[in-house]
Amino acid sequence: MLKILHQDFLERIISKHYVFSGNGEHGNPERETPQMLLQARGDDDFTMHFTYPLEEIDAKREKDWHKQQQKQKNRTMKNPEVEVRVDWSAQEHSLIAFFEANNYAARKVRSSSQTKRMSLTCLSP
């Protein structure tokens, strides 16, 4: 799963805006990333911006999940000890379910489905 991002990074890099530009392909953005961000930032004032609609992201993440699961199953033919990921569960794996279950987190989310155009200024004038 999450291999690149670490909790201490999110605790050290403080911003009012975090942009998630993955469209779900290759499993990105992973559900663990906003979870870790919320753990690191707690009650701080910040917004998470998703550049694709969450429904689209989750659909592609689920497709990738099944693809990776099948690859793992195929590998077990050569090596029965290969671990195979569990079946996709929207409740356990989708971004939508995570935000629906966490009202506080949901209030911090903006996605392209909520606005026709997204424009962020990343540097102070």
Question: Which of helix, strand or coil describes residue 16?
Answer: coil
pLDDT of residue 114: 57
pLDDT tens series, the chain, 125 aa: 445 667 788 888 889 989 998 999 999 999 999 999 999 998 899 999 999 999 999 999 999 999 999 999 999 999 999 999 999 999 999 999 999 998 888 889 988 765 556 566 666 55
How distant, in Å, are the alpha carbons of 14, 42, 98, 105 from that of 45? 10, 9, 19, 11
Q: Is the peptide bond before 29 cis (omega within 30 degrees of 0)?
A: yes
Listed by start position, the domains of the chain span 7-63+92-111
pTM of the model as a whole: 0.83
User: Which stretches of 6-116 are DSSP H helices?
Assistant: 7-12, 32-41, 54-75, 90-93, 95-101, 103-106
Task: Please state the φ and ψ torsions of residue 48, each to the nearest 5 degrees.
Answer: -105, 120
pLDDT of residue 68: 96
Residues in the chain: 125
Structure tokens at 5: 């991002």
